[in-house]
Amino acid sequence: MKFFKTNARLDQLQPSSILAFDAAISEIPDIIKLTLGEPDFNTPEHVKAAGKASITNNESHYTDSSGKLVLRVAAADFLHNKYHATYNPTNQIIVTVGATGAIYSTITALTNPNDEVIIPIPIFPLYIPITLLNGAKPVFVDTTNDGFKLTPSRLQATLLAHPQAKMLILNYPTNPTGVTYTREELTALVEPLRNKPIVVLSDEIYSELSYDQNHVSLGEILPEQTILVTGLSKSHAMTGWRIGFAAGPADLIQKIAMISQFTVTSATTNAQDAAIEALTSGADDGLIMQAEYVKRRDYLIKRLTQMGIAVIKPTGAFYIFMQIPTQFGTDSFAFGHRLAIEAHLGLVPGGAFPAGEGYMRLSYAASMTNLINAMDRLERFMQAHV
């Protein structure tokens, strides 16, 4: 179709460089890949059983496009009990196809062409193509020199320079850096936003994987201006079931629900039934995995520090964003390929994330055996190139 013109906004976008890099190194024999952004655990048995029962019971029909009410009730209870965020399940929460569905519908429903969207970086890249597809404009704030956190003064300065900004995107615990915010930090951070016509899309998908401190939700701190995005992919090792949520003020959720309805009709019915089980009987399933991730994190931080590699200790999610040792320069893709070819170790180049050049993302959603072997390989590689 030589003369056929596709959506011009797509011309600004590139396919995911994380997936491309992962595919390129996957052929290397015996490679250990710490590249994956999904739990290595299986979905808990009782949750799988609920999904199977749903199929057996012929739950094979569309649901309400906002999701089964009983699931929205379970999600509201979960958010209330865990994070003191209070939502009315009838009009303040919708079920989406993964957190991705919530992010897509939120940005699409709440922005107009040329609206500015403030995005602290490095961050999970998905928000950027969705912003661009809507004709809105990302305004990046580099947090590298602030310990990868957006500070109130940087936010204030950005708001002054961009008074028309419509949305702020926050993701914490943060992919790819693993940092998160304390209650005090969040309270100070939202101060410049209060009572301004600006909405925060707060992607808290890793909330159950917070270490050393309890997760504090913007759904508690700034409910009237927050769309809380979450889901079961990380907390319950359910990436493939594709269940997420968007929660917030009823008038905004009504618009977000329209986009979700027009794009996917409703989330898969059997996955919704499994999700009800996950959020009720399995409300604390994530804590068992969390304990395992903490052990892995502590082990990795110890080994990396012994090797003299600079890292900020993550307090959530399952990533470490480590600086490339100076003798290897700062080109993360070049370093990533070299590490894969010479040491048979796969890490995601930081350059796959905005402002991430000079770093590598290491995912510890991998078995302890693989992590030990990975650190041994990295150590040998470093010793071979002093």
Ligand X SMILES: Cc1ncc(COP(=O)(O)O)c(C=O)c1O
Pick 203 or 277: Cβ nearer ligand X: 203
Minimum gap (Å) between residue 241 Cβ and ligand X: 9
Minimum gap (Å) between residue 265 Cβ and ligand X: 17
Rounded CA Rg of the chain? 21
Minimum gap (Å) between residue 186 Cβ and ligand X: 17
Residue nearest to ligand X (CB): 98
Piece in contact with ligand X (CB under 6 A), picked from 50-58, 192-200, 231-239, 368-376: 231-239
- Which residue carries 């995601």 as its tokens? 348
Q: Which of 265, 235, 243 is nearest to 54 (CA)?
A: 243
Distant-in-sequence, close-in-space partners of 50: CB < 8 Å, separation ≥ 6: 273, 274, 276, 277, 278
- Given 51, 138, 219, 231, the residue binding ligand X (CB under 6 A): 231
Angle at 202 between CA 198 and CA 207, to 5 degrees: 160
Beta strands in the chain (DSSP E): 32-33, 93-97, 116-121, 137-142, 167-171, 199-203, 226-231, 243-247, 319-323, 345-346, 348-349, 359-363
Using CB under 6 A as the binding rule, the residues of this chain from 291 to 330 that contact ligand X are none
- Given 17, 144, 187, 239, the residue binding ligand X (CB under 6 A): 239
Size of the site for ligand X (CB under 6 A): 13
Pick 206 or 335: Cβ nearer ligand X: 206
Using the rule CB under 6 A, is 99 a contact of ligand X? yes
- Which residue carries 């005090």 as its tokens? 184
Q: Which residues pair with 116 in a beta bridge?
A: 137
Pick 18 or 300: Cβ nearer ligand X: 18
Q: Which of 98, 162, 93, 169 is nearest to 131 (CA)?
A: 169
Pick 134 or 207: Cβ nearer ligand X: 207
Q: Which of 203, 218, 229 is nearest to 94 (CA)?
A: 229
Using CB under 6 A as the binding rule, the residues of this chain from 161 to 220 that contact ligand X are 171, 175, 203, 205
Minimum gap (Å) between residue 37 Cβ and ligand X: 4
For binding to ligand X (CB under 6 A), which residues are involved? 37, 98-100, 124, 171, 175, 203, 205, 231, 233, 239, 244
